[in-house]
Amino acid sequence: MVVGQSYGGYLAPIVAQLAMADHLVLVAPMIPQPGETADDMWEASGWHMPRDHSGIIEVFYHDVDPDLAREAMSHGRQQSETTGREPWPLDAWPNVPTHVVLCQNDRFFPADWLRGVVRDRLGIEPDELPCGHTPALSRPRELVELIESYRSPASPSATSNSPNQ
């Protein structure tokens, strides 16, 4: 199983294909299309930088315990902008059962926007958690339980093949 969160949605499908993963799980993800740069994805999907919140904690960690949010921030690194300008290299979405976890209170990828992106680009319904952009910190137990449920043959929102086929 390969899990990618946020910008990791750009890389996780590549890893899932190369590793021949049995599942691909995307949490509050970017969802690229073949040949599309990350920058192009923003424009094509209608995403806009949140304007009504200021600061990283306010956007990404608003529902995380403040001490844990500060600890997470202390380990942060600047993200490379290089991949934002490079075309996504896969010719098609990998032929791997794919699941998306949507965060209902996400201030960076608003639920209404991401729900539409998931449906349009993957043709599946996302599973939803009542949290912000970082459920591994705000709702770790619920996130793990949901991800583990995908191993079950009757898992929620499972696709048995590539969503774009």
Question: Averaged over 133-151, what is the pLDDT?
Answer: 96
What local confidence, expressed as pLDDT, does residue 164 receive?
44
Per-residue pLDDT, 56: 82
Residues 83-95 have pLDDT tens digits of 778 899 999 999 9
* Sheet arrangement for strand 98-103: 2-5, 24-27, 98-103, 127-129
Q: What is the pLDDT of residues 100-123, one digit of tens each?
A: 999 999 999 999 999 999 999 999
Residue 156 scores a pLDDT above 70: no
Q: How far apart are the C-alpha atoms of 70 and 37, rounded to whole Å?
A: 31
Mean pLDDT of 112-136: 96
The pLDDT of residue 53 is 64
Q: Which of 163, 38, 47 is nearest to 113 (CA)?
A: 47
Residue 153 has a pLDDT of 67
pTM over 0.85: yes
Strands 24-27 and 2-5: parallel
**What pLDDT is attached to residue 18?**
95
18 versus 77: the higher-pLDDT residue is 18
- The strand pairing partners of 100, in sequence order, are 26
| Of 71-75, 101-105, 127-131, minimum mean pLDDT range | 71-75
159 pLDDT exceeds 70? no
Rg (CA), the chain: 15
Cβ within 8 Å of residue 66, ≥6 positions away: 57
